Amino acid sequence: MRGRVDVLYRNIGKPIFFRLDPEKAHHLVVGGLGRASGVVGADAVMRGMYGVNETPDLAVDLFGLHFPTPVGLAAGLDKNAQAVKGFSSIGFGFMEVGTVTPKGQPGNEQPRLFRLPPDEALINRMGFNNEGAEAMAKRLSALKERRIPVAVNIGKNKATPNEKANDDYEACIQALFPYGDFFVVNISSPNTPDLRSLQHGSELSSLLEAVMNEMSRQAKIHGGDKAVLVKIAPDVSDEELEFMVDTISASGVSGIIATNTTLSRDGLTHSNAKETGGLSGKPLRNRSTEIVSRIYKQTGGSLPIIGSGGIFTARDAYDKIRAGASLVEIYTALIYEGPEVNRKLHSGLRELLARDGFSHISEAVGANHR
C-alpha cells in the first residue's frame, strides 16, 4: 500500500502540481490539507497513508517538549497556521508556522516562487506574505489538540524600519505566546529589505534582549517558559558566523536553526537561477551542514541546533545530525518527493543509527566531532 501511495504521487500528483503555477500549487496543497482536517476521519486516513510510527530510537525530548520524530516541517509552507492538523498527520515530528508579522501584509509582487527541477531546488521571494499575528492566534487557539509541537516563526513587517524592529517581534510574542509551543526569531530571510542586517553588530544583541525580556513578561502572565530559537542565514563569513553564535549564546536563547535560504547560485543549471530571492533545496545541503558543524564546534554542543537546508534523503539528515543537529527540518523535499518522504527519512535514519552502533539519535548528535 505504501509503495503504491508513493508511486501515485510521483506518477500522478507531482506531474499535476508541477504543471500548475508554483504558488497556486502551494495554496492548493495547504488549503486542501486545511479543509480536509475539517472532515471527520480525514486525519486518520492521512495518518494511515503517510503517518510515521514513533520509535524509541528516534523520539527526542528537547526544549521541554516531546518530538515523536526528529524531522520537522520548516517555516514558509503553512504561513498562516491553516493546516496544522493536516501536516501533523503526515509524519512530521514538529512544524513551524509563519513567518508571521504583527500586521498582515501581501508580500512581494507575483510571480515570486520558482521551481528549478533539474537542480531539485526552489527560489522564493515571497516577502513574508501572511494574514498577521491576530489571525494566526485565532487559528491556533481553535485547535483542540496537537499531535506534534508547533513553533511560531516571527518576523517584522516590511514597512517597519530596523530601528523599530524590536517592537514588531515583541508584538508577535504578545499575540501568540499562549499558542506557540516554541518560537523562532527570523532575522535571515533575504526577501525583506535590510532584515539580514539584524544578524550583525549591536542590532542582534538588542533584538534578542528585547525578545527574551518579552518572553519573560509573557511567561509571568500566562505561566510556563517557552524556548526561543534564532534562524540564521548561510551567506555569512566565518568571522560573521562566529560573532553571531557568540551573541546568540550570550542572549539566553535556547537554540539555533541553521539555515535559512541562500542567495548563492553556484552550480545551478535551470534558467530560473536568474530569479532573485532565497534558494532552497539540494544546492543548499552542503553549506547548511557546514554551518551546523561550525556552530556545534564553537559551542561545544551546548546550544541545540535544528539543521535545515537541502535534506532529501536519510543520509542528508544524518549528515546534519552527525555534524551537530539535534533535530532537522525539510521543505523543498516535500514538494519534490511528496509526503511519503517522512517514512523514508524515518526508516533510513533508523538503519544508519543501527549501522553505526547507536541505540538513540542523541548518541549520533555531533559524532563527527568526537
Asked if residue 164 belongs to a known ligand binding site, the reply is no
Q: What is the pLDDT of residues 44-86, one digit of tens each?
A: 888 988 999 999 999 999 999 999 999 999 999 999 999 999 9
Rounded distance between C-alpha atoms, residue 7 and residue 309, angstroms: 25
Q: What is the pLDDT of residues 7-30, one digit of tens each?
A: 667 777 788 889 899 999 989 889
Rounded distance between C-alpha atoms, residue 152 and residue 328, angstroms: 16
Q: Which pLDDT does position 5 carry in this prediction?
A: 58
Cell 562566529 belongs to: 242
Catalytic residue among 37, 188, 189, 280: 189
- Residue ranges covered by each domain of the chain: 2-364
Rounded distance between C-alpha atoms, residue 147 and residue 87, angstroms: 10
What pTM did the predictor assign? Answer: 0.95
Q: What is the pLDDT of residues 253-286, one digit of tens each?
A: 999 999 999 999 999 999 999 999 999 999 999 9
Rounded distance between C-alpha atoms, residue 211 and residue 166, angstroms: 7
Question: What CATH architecture applies to the domain 2-364?
Answer: Alpha-Beta Barrel (3.20)
Asked if residue 101 belongs to a known ligand binding site, the reply is no
Asked about 189 being catalytic, the answer comes back as yes
Residue 356, CB half-sphere, CA atoms under 13 Å: how many? 20
Mean of per-residue pLDDT scores for the chain:
94
Rounded distance between C-alpha atoms, residue 305 and residue 307, angstroms: 6
Cell 516590511 belongs to: 158
Say whether 278 sits in a helix, a strand or coil. Answer: strand
Helices 238-251, 201-222: axis angle to 10 degrees equals 30
Asked if residue 75 belongs to a known ligand binding site, the reply is yes
Residue 311, CB half-sphere, CA atoms under 13 Å: how many? 35
**CB count in 10 Å sphere of residue 24:** 12
Asked if residue 262 belongs to a known ligand binding site, the reply is no
